């Protein structure tokens, strides 16, 4: 068997990011189930025109569908809580796929992506972190082969989406985007987007430029997310790409699902970076606590500086993966790179930090 | 300490813990990549849980559990992974063969619009059904009211005589509309006049010049 296949099959690693992704997927499953329940209030899909993939006799009856939607709500709560999370994910995925098979009018790319990601995540040890009742010291190392499949699935989606746009002359020329701006510009203005921005976007040359950027972004992300040297940059770009789609289009939870999968691309280790703070200073203490709270992917080991170090140096020191210690704005950039909530600001912070005078020292990499 | 001895020393720690803990539950105690200190902290702390897990397994569980089945062994991982990738690629590549292009992950494929006008074919000729509403006599001569929206609630297909955005593209919406016509025609039992339903569709694909197409339902009687 080729070495890369053996590596994929046998890889073990930290599963805190997998747990965080599970919570996000659980919340999206919950949103989906609540939407289905709300739509059920307006009528059962089987009483109106529907288009099943399955033979009609296998389509869920009204009572069965009510039960499925109720079960989906319950299962999604279990997924979020981390209680029997893998079984709940697996069941949610099957239920979701069955509903899509009952009525392909309910098919949306984002719902299908959610179901298949839920299925793949159920095969990963996603219940070892971010789970109610899970002890802090409990083992969090686990096999990552299924996590890598979720990542591969995202790359496939990017390739397919970008590739289909590349093959379409109307997309390549920017005509599709331009028309979308024309059709939905008024809606954007109604929702508070400044008229000037909408007017700027509804120009053919802008549509053409943005279309080429979108195609290039999708195709590059499919590959770049796998490369350790450019991954952070790719994730930052992809994050803003998806946030802009979220702001301009109705894609249900697809943007958030994709960003949750981004967490799985993080290096599968824990506490590889350090944040050292002066415990005598309230502000440093508060910042350290804030970082600890926002450290969803277990990137940092937060620890107080010894009295001697604290007296001699700055109140807050961020030590990067390679042992480089940073203070001031550079420390903030290191923190932003490792915390999902601050990650959107990472590149501008890092750029600004690169203009500051380095006051860094080399420290021993974390043991 | 190298990765393999660490993993071997925590053979149970890298498994699922709880009911499934135990060397047998983890097919790969010989780790190939492990994050250093995280593994060591597990090695320090995992023993008590292992004991509990084993007890639980002996007392409470049979030979099979769903979670155990979900922990695939080495060969199963390769088979599953290869099948998964192959099936997803096949679904994507074959999306164009499906009338509504589902499973193709073609995001924002078009920026097209369409406008559907509904027409009833009767023995007296074609009659339009403005906004999808019409009245017709039933078999015993009683006048009854019918509505396209009684069956079709989809926001795109339900919009008769109005220009709407063709979500997922014109081809997808035309495929859906064809089935909607057949469905409605099959559910207006008390309409004694309408032989067939017809949709006159005006669409513009990505802002190009408008085109028209006619779709017709299955005949309700008499061919």
Query: Which of A288-298 are b and which e, b meaning 16 or more Cβ less than 10 Å from the residue's Cβ?
Result: beebeebbbbb
Per-residue pLDDT at B4: 40
Question: Which position has the higher pLDDT, B58 or A263?
Answer: A263
Q: Is the pLDDT of residue B14 over 90?
A: no
User: Best mutation site among B17, B25, B72, B74 for testing chain A: the one with the most A CBs within 10 Å?
Assistant: B17
The whole-angstrom separation of Cα A365 and Cα A319 is 8
Of B3 and B183, which is predicted with more confidence? B183
Please indicate whether residue B139 or residue B2 has the higher confidence score (pLDDT): B139
Question: pTM of the entire structure?
Answer: 0.87
Q: Which residues 75-134 on chain A approach chain B with CB closer than 8 angstroms?
A: 86-87, 90, 104-105, 107, 109, 112-113, 116, 120, 122-123, 125, 127-128
Q: What is the dihedral of CA A14, B20, A93, B93, to 10 degrees?
A: 70
CB pairs under 8 A between A and B: 172
CA distance A294 to A300: 10
Best mutation target, B16, B21, B38, to test chain A (most A CBs within 10 A): B38
User: Cβ B38–A140 below 8 Å, yes or no?
Assistant: yes
**Among the partner residues B38, B88, B207, nearest to A175 by beta-carbon distance:** B207
Task: For residue B66, give the chain A residue with the closest CA.
Answer: A87
User: Average of pLDDT values for A43-57?
Assistant: 96
User: What distances in angstroms separate CA A117 from CA A121, A227, A297, B156, one per listed residue?
Assistant: 6, 22, 19, 28
pLDDT at residue A191 in the model? 77
How do beta strands A300-304 and B143-147 pair?
unpaired
Q: Which of B7, B70, B172, B186 to mutate to test the interface with A (most CBs of A within 10 A)?
A: B70
Partner B, chain A 253-282, Cβ-Cβ below 8 Å: 268-272
Instruction: List, for residues B75-121, the tens digit of each pLDDT value.
Output: 999 999 999 999 999 999 999 999 999 999 999 999 999 999 999 99
Q: What is the mean pLDDT of residues A105-131?
A: 96
Residue B121: name the closest of B212, B222, B202 by CA.
B222
Taking an 8 Å cut-off on Cβ atoms, the answer to whether B35 and A6 are in contact is no
Q: Which residues of A touch B184 (CB under 8 A)?
A: 49
Q: Is the ipTM of this complex over 0.95?
A: no
Mark yes or no for CB contact B70/A86 under 8 Å. Answer: yes
Please say whether the beta carbons of A96 and A111 come within 8 A: yes
- Least trusted range by pLDDT, from A104-108, A236-240, B41-45: B41-45
Q: Is the distance from CB of A18 to CB of A126 less than 8 angstroms?
A: yes
Condensed to tens digits (0 to 9), the pLDDT of residues B148-202 reads 999 999 999 999 999 999 999 999 999 999 999 999 999 999 999 999 999 999 9
Dist. CA B6–CA A272, nearest whole Å: 18
């Amino acid at each position: 068997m080729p070495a890369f296949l053996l590596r994929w099959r046998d890889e073990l690693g930290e599963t805190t990011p997998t747990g965080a992704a599970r919570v996000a997927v659980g919340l999206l499953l919950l949103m989906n189930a609540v939407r289905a329940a709300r739509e059920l209030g307006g009528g059962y899909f089987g009483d109106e025109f529907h288009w099943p993939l399955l033979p009609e006799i296998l389509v869920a009856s009204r009572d069965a569908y009510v039960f499925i939607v109720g079960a989906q709500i319950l299962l999604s709560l279990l997924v979020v809580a981390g209680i029997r999370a893998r079984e709940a994910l697996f069941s949610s995925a099957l239920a979701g796929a069955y509903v899509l098979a009952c009525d392909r009018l309910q098919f949306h790319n984002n719902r299908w992506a959610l179901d298949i990601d839920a299925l793949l995540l159920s095969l990963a040890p996603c219940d070892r972190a971010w789970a109610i009742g899970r002890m802090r010291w409990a083992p969090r190392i686990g096999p990552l082969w299924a996590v890598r499949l979720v990542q591969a699935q995202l790359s496939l989606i990017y390739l397919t989406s970008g590739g289909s746009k590349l093959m379409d002359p109307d997309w390549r020329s920017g005509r599709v985007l331009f028309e979308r701006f024309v059709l939905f510009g008024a809606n954007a203005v109604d929702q508070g987007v400044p008229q000037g921005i909408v007017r700027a976007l509804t120009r053919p040359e802008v549509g053409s430029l943005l279309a080429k950027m979108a195609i290039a972004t999708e195709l590059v992300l499919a590959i770049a997310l796998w490369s350790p040297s450019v991954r952070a940059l790719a994730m930052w770009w992809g994050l803003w790409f998806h946030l802009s789609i979220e702001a301009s289009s109705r894609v249900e939870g697809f943007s958030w699902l994709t960003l949750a999968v981004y967490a799985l691309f993080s290096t599968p280790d824990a506490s590889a970076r350090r944040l050292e703070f002066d415990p005598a200073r309230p502000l440093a203490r508060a910042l350290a606590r804030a970082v600890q709270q926002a450290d969803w992917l277990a990137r940092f080991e937060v620890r107080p500086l010894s009295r001697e170090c604290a007296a001699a140096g700055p109140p807050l020191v961020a030590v990067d993966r390679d042992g480089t210690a940073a203070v001031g704005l550079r420390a903030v950039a290191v923190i932003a790179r490792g915390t999902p909530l601050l990650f959107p600001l990472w590149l501008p912070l890092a750029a600004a930090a690169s203009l500051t005078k380095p006051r860094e020292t080399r420290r021993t990499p974390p043991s | 300490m190298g990765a393999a001895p660490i993993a071997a020393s925590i053979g149970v720690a890298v498994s699922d813990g709880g009911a499934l803990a135990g060397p047998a539950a983890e097919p790969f105690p010989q780790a190939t990549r492990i994050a250093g200190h995280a593994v060591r902290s597990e090695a320090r702390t995992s023993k008590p849980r292992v004991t509990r897990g084993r007890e639980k397994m002996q007392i409470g569980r049979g030979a099979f559990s769903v979670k155990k089945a979900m922990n695939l062994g080495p060969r199963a991982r390769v088979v599953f992974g290869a099948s998964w990738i192959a099936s997803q690629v096949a679904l994507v590549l074959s999306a164009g063969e499906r009338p509504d292009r589902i499973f193709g992950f073609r995001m924002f494929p078009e920026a097209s619009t369409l406008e559907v006008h509904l027409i009833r074919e009767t023995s007296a000729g074609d009659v339009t059904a403005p906004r999808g509403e019409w009245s017709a006599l039933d078999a015993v001569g009683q006048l009854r009211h019918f509505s396209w929206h009684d069956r079709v609630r989809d926001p795109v297909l339900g919009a008769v005589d109005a220009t709407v955005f063709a979500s997922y593209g014109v081809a997808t919406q035309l495929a859906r509309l064809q089935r909607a016509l057949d469905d409605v025609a099959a559910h207006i039992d008390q309409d004694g006049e309408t032989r067939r339903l017809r949709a006159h569709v005006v669409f513009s694909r990505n802002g190009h010049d408008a085109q028209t197409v006619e779709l017709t339902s299955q005949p309700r009687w008499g061919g």
